[in-house]
Amino acid sequence: MNTNKRHDLGIAIVGSGKIGELRAQMAANHPAVNFIACADADPGRAKAVADKTGAQFHSANNLDVIAHPDVDAVIVSSSEHAHIEPVLEALRLGKPVLCEKPIGLNLADADTVLDAIAKYNGNVRYGYSRRFKHRYLTVKEQVAQGKLGQITGGHARAYNLRSQAAKAQERSAGLSPVVYSLTYYIDLMCWFMENNPVVEVVARGHGLGKPGAGGKVAHDLTWAMLTLADGAVMDVGIYYALPEKYPSRGLSSRLELVGTDGVIVIDGDNTDQVMYSEKGVPHVHLPNQDAKLVFLGSSTPGAWAVGDFWGPLADETRAWLDFLSTGRPCALANAQDARNNLEISLAIDRSAYTRQTVRLPIEK
């Protein structure tokens, strides 16, 4: 039994938006946490989340909360373009970090994080919350037990509403659905196929959405074929333009792995839990997006029930806090995983836009 459990953890939340608020609530309810500080570029958001969670301190200045003497560890839940700086500040101060994906928007920034981790002997984990969806934890376990034999290929695809992509692109201009969201499934595939890196990418895309960074229309649909070092072939795809009233409240997906001794097929379209209500059901992320017919269980981070938040984001946050307070290992992605996921995501976008084969590693 571990007798060195901590009950005095102080946690800073940088970025008190939708996900930051959920992480803050998880932290506030964890038995090892006795201090919360919230920051957001919008001071009203920092105060609102502090009030809601009973946080002891809030600020519009990230460094005020990261450097606060009662803060031991930092959660970075700011917009995608604003992850690097608070992570580097926490590393400089010797504080462990849980940061949302992606690690950054380019590989040069990702490498500054890896360099700082090496320099300060730091610990940064990334919120690839799909790992904590129980059905994918089960896949990881069965693959680790060798039930599929040698894995020769696989397939993973996810669909979501166009308004979800629009919201992400509003806060981080030009963010592609590949870097924002397909990255979860790239992470899963690489996690299942440990020590077998992706070496080549061929992708195609199609876009009708608004122009993003550089005036390019972000692809609504991107389909990619990945070749791994041992010759295994995966295809991964994302489509972010489902009609607004489609009943899913988050990612609809399918994941398959085939091997010499077995096959796993995971239906993640959430059509097994259907509710219709004349009263409407609100969307977790999108205000004014009520629908009458919904697939319950389709919200990507999870959902509230009987006073608690349940689902992948809750289990992931709890696993990280348990890791901090007891030293118990946790399955969260590390910075090298996050960098690999970003590199594959960028290679997919590059191949889709140039219509060329892209070999990894890619130049920065």
Q: What is the DSSP letter of 302?
A: -
Query: Which stretch, 79-87, 116-124, 255-263, 320-328, contacts ligand NAD (CB under 6 A)?
Result: 79-87
Asked if residue 177 binds ligand NAD (CB under 6 A), the reply is no
Tell me, residue by residue from 257 to 296, as one string, x for binding to ligand NAD by CB under 6 A and - for no binding.
Answer: ----------------------------x-----------
> Looking at 62, 248, 270, 289, which residue binds ligand NAD (CB under 6 A)?
62
Nearer to ligand NAD, 45 or 157 (CB): 45
In the numeric block, the tokens 């001794």 are attached to 261
In the numeric block, the tokens 């500080």 are attached to 37
Q: Give the side-chain half-sphere CA count within 13 A for 307.
A: 1
Asked if residue 254 binds ligand NAD (CB under 6 A), the reply is no
Tell me, residue by residue from 98 to 137, as one string, x for binding to ligand NAD by CB under 6 A and - for no binding.
Answer: --xx-------------------------x-x--------
Q: Nearest approach, Cβ of 94 to ligand NAD (angstroms)?
A: 21
> Looking at 10, 16, 176, 352, which residue binds ligand NAD (CB under 6 A)?
16
The residue count for binding ligand NAD (CB under 6 A) is 28
Asked if residue 24 binds ligand NAD (CB under 6 A), the reply is no
Q: Strands of 358-359's sheet, edge to edge? A: 263-268, 252-259, 151-161, 233-242, 221-228, 198-206, 358-359
Buried b (16+ CB within 10 A) or exposed e, 3-40: eeeeeebbbbbbbbbebbbbbbbbbbbbebbebbbbbb
Q: Quote the CA–CA distance of 94 and 89 in Å, as a whole number.
A: 9
> Looking at 29, 79, 106, 334, which residue binds ligand NAD (CB under 6 A)?
79
Q: Quote the CA–CA distance of 352 and 328 in Å, as a whole number.
A: 41
Q: Nearest approach, Cβ of 149 to ligand NAD (angstroms)?
A: 32
Amino acid identity of 211?
Answer: P
**Structure tokens given for 347:** 């290679």
